[in-house]
Amino acid sequence: MKILKFGAVWCNGCLVMRPRLEEIEKENPWLKTNYFDFDQDKEMVKKFNISSGVLPVFIFLDKNSKEILRLSGEVEKDLFLEKIAENKDK
């Protein structure tokens, strides 16, 4: 499983989520993540149909790079960890 993270420097929810995700990533070193900036990574933003009104967006991909879950906005750490646990073997 891999998580694609979409955010922007002007996004308040992104600022809230950044340290939360850094903590999650430190606690789960096996977790693969990639960050994409809404204003700079236009190709990926378009490919995954990301809107500026719903940032941040977290897309969970399975082993075949198929989307299995999409979370958006400020997500509590416990819920995020729950979703990781549910999908980590996919």
CATH of the domain at 47: 3.40.30.10
pLDDT at 40: 97
Q: What is the DSSP string of 10-29?
A: T-HHHHHHHHHHHHHHHH-T
pTM: 0.94
Instruction: State the helix-helix crossing angle for 12-27 and 77-87, rounded to 10 degrees.
Output: 50
Task: Residue 47: give the domain boundaries.
Answer: 2-87
Write down the pLDDT at residue 53.
Answer: 86
Residue 32, pLDDT score: 95
Mean pLDDT by 10 residues, the chain (90 residues): 96 95 95 96 96 93 96 96 94
Beta strands 2-7 and 67-72 are unpaired
Query: Tokens 């070193």 label which residue?
Result: 29
